[in-house]
Chain A
Amino acid sequence: MAAGVAAWLPFARAAAIGWMPVANCPMPLAPADKNKRQDELIVLNVSGRRFQTWRTTLERYPDTLLGSTEKEFFFNEDTKEYFFDRDPEVFRCVLNFYRTGKLHYPRYECISAYDDELAFYGILPEIIGDCCYEEYKDRKRENAERLMDDNDSENNQESMPSLSFRQTMWRAFENPHTSTLALVFYYVTGFFIAVSVITNVVETVPCGTVPGSKELPCGERYSVAFFCLDTACVMIFTVEYLLRLFAAPSRYRFIRSVMSIIDVVAIMPYYIGLVMTNNEDVSGAFVTLRVFRVFRIFKFSRHSQGLRILGYTLKSCASELGFLLFSLTMAIIIFATVMFYAEKGSSASKFTSIPASFWYTIVTMTTLGYGDMVPKTIAGKIFGSICSLSGVLVIALPVPVIVSNFSRIYHQNQRADKRRAQKKARLARIRVAKTGSSNAYLHSKRNGLLNEALELMGTPEEEHVGKTTSLIESQHHHLLHCLEKTTNHEFIDEQMFEQNCMESSMQNYPSTRSPSLSSHPGLTTTCCSRRSKKTTHLPNSNLPATRLRSMQELSTIHIQGSEQPSLTTSRSSLNLKADDGLRPNCRASQITTAIISIPTPPALTPEGESRPPPASPGPNTNIPSIASNVVKVSAL
Chain B
Amino acid sequence: MSGCSKRCKLGFVKFAQTIFKLITGTLSKDKIEDELEMTMVCHRPEGLEQLEAQTNFTKRELQVLYRGFKNECPSGVVNEETFKQIYAQFFPHGDASTYAHYLFHAFDTTQTGSVKFEDFVTALSILLRGTVHEKLRWTFNLYDINKDGYINKEEMMDIVKAIYDMMGKYTYPVLKEDTPRQHVDVFFQKMDKNKDGIVTLDEFLESCQEDDNIMRSLQLFQNVM
Query: Which A residues lie at the B interface, using CB under 8 A?
Result: 2, 4-27, 29-30, 33, 36, 38-39, 54, 56, 100
Contacts and interface: CB of A to CB of B under 8 A. Distances in A.
Given A8-B68, A11-B124, A14-B127, A23 B89 contact: no
Contacts of B218: 17, 20
Nearest to B120: A11
B163 A26 contact: no
B223 A33 contact: yes
Interface string B79-117: 000000011011010000001001100100000000000
B138 to A, nearest CB: 7
Contact of A13 (B142, B143, B163, B221): B221
Contact of B163 (A5, A6, A19, A33): A19
Interface stretch (B5-13, B15-23, B46-54, B209-217): B209-217
B178 to A, nearest CB: 16
A36 B222 CA distance: 14
A27 B217 contact: yes
A21 B144 CA distance: 13
A469 B225 CA distance: 58
A54 B191 CA distance: 46
A369 B64 CA distance: 80
5 closest A-B pairs by beta carbon, nearest first, are A7-B68, A2-B89, A14-B127, A27-B217, A20-B217
A528 B108 CA distance: 100
Nearest to A12: B90
B187 A5 contact: no
A6 to B, nearest CB: 8
A12 B128 CA distance: 11
A410 B30 CA distance: 40
A34 to B, nearest CB: 11
Given A7-B64, A7-B68, A15-B127, A22 B216 contact: no
Contact of A23 (B64, B204, B217): B217
B103 A18 contact: yes
B183 A14 contact: no
Interface of B: 60, 64-65, 67-69, 71-72, 86-87, 89-90, 92, 99, 102-103, 106, 120, 123-124, 127-128, 135-136, 138-139, 142-143, 159-160, 163, 183, 186-187, 191, 204, 208, 213-214, 216-218, 220-221, 223-225
Contacts of B102: 18
B163 A17 contact: no
A8 B217 contact: no
Contact of A17 (B127, B186, B187, B223): B127
Contacts of B124: 10-11, 14
A17 B139 contact: yes
A12 B100 CA distance: 10
**Residue from A20, A23, A38 with most neighbouring chain B CB atoms (10 Å):** A20
A22 B183 contact: yes
Given A8-B72, A10-B124, A16 B221 contact: yes
B23 to A, nearest CB: 17
Nearest to A100: B71
A16 B128 CA distance: 11
A9 B139 contact: no
B107 to A, nearest CB: 9
Contact of A2 (B90, B139, B163, B220): B90
Given A12-B87, A14-B224, A17-B138, A23 B213 contact: yes
A127 to B, nearest CB: 15
B149 to A, nearest CB: 17
A10 B208 contact: no
Contacts of A38: 60
A456 to B, nearest CB: 70
B15 to A, nearest CB: 23
12 contacts: A2-B86, A2-B92, A7-B65, A8-B72, A14-B123, A17-B221, A18-B106, A21-B187, A22-B183, A23-B214, A26-B217, A38-B60
Contacts of A25: 213
B186 A5 contact: no
A26 B213 contact: yes
B2 to A, nearest CB: 41
Contacts of B163: 19, 22
A54 B72 CA distance: 16
A9 B90 contact: yes
Nearest to A3: B89
Given A7-B65, A22-B160, 14 more contacts: A2-B90, A8-B72, A11-B120, A12-B90, A13-B224, A14-B127, A15-B87, A19-B163, A21-B143, A21-B187, A26-B216, A30-B223, A33-B223, A56-B64
Given A2-B89, A7-B72, A14 B160 contact: no
A20 B204 CA distance: 12
Given A10-B128, A11-B124, A14-B224, A20 B89 contact: no
Contact of B142 (A18, A23, A30): A18
A19 B135 CA distance: 12
B145 to A, nearest CB: 12
A26 to B, nearest CB: 5
A380 B102 CA distance: 75
Contacts of A8: 68-69, 72, 86, 90
Contacts of A30: 220-221, 223-224
Nearest to B72: A5
A27 B220 contact: yes
B225 A24 contact: no
A22 B164 CA distance: 11
Contacts of A22: 159-160, 163, 183, 187
Given A8-B86, A12-B90, A26-B213, A21 B208 contact: yes
Nearest to B61: A10
Contacts of B123: 14
Contacts of A24: 183, 186
Nearest to A24: B186
Contacts of B220: 27, 29-30
A25 B72 CA distance: 34
A39 B187 CA distance: 41
A10 B65 contact: yes
Nearest to B223: A33
Contacts of B213: 23, 25-27
A379 B175 CA distance: 79
A217 to B, nearest CB: 58
A1 to B, nearest CB: 8
Contacts of A23: 213-214, 217
A7 B86 CA distance: 10
A258 B128 CA distance: 76
B64, B90, B136, B186 — most chain A CB neighbours (10 Å): B90
B224 A5 contact: no
A365 B140 CA distance: 81
